[in-house]
Amino acid sequence: MGLCLTKIQGDEDDSDQHVEFAAGNVGLVTTKEGWEQKLSEASRDGKTVIANFSATWCGPCRMIAPFYCELSEKHPSLMFLVVDVDELTEFSSSWDIKATPTFFFLRDGQQVDKLVGANKPELQKKITAVLDSAAPS
């Protein structure tokens, strides 16, 4: 099972509690500065960013996390990020997050697509569309 992108609070050292949201090639964003740095890195490298706004308590977020990590490994030409809406509340609000998970697709810092919900086929479809649109003609 995948886990949402956040650290579990408490003293328990139960590794079963930790579902890796930032496994594979998924980058964990913990600050607004970190977000800006990743976006500028993606622009510099010509990469499209897929940003997953999720929460550790969110069942659908935990369910799709391993799939998101797999996608990050299959598509190294894209930058996969995860933002914990509870850790970056104000920042997440600025993106008008109404439900988790919400995936944003960004090119040169601009939104090119969006997906709300843990819909694996739709996420795969949107990633394929982004890859096709970025492919040289």
HEC string for 43-111: HHHCCEEEEEEECCCCHHHHHHHHHHHHHHHHCCCEEEEEEECCCCHHHHHHCCCCCCCEEEEEECCEE
CA distance 127 to 23: 18
4 noted as active-site residue: no
- In the set 19, 42, 51, 61, the catalytic residue is 61
Q: How far is CA 67 from the centre of its chain?
A: 11
Q: Collapse the DSSP code of 115 into the 3-class scheme (helix H, G, I; strand E, B; otherwise coil) and give the result.
A: strand
- In the set 42, 50, 58, 123, the catalytic residue is 58
Count of other CB atoms within 10 angstroms of residue 84: 25
58 noted as active-site residue: yes
Active site residues: 58, 61
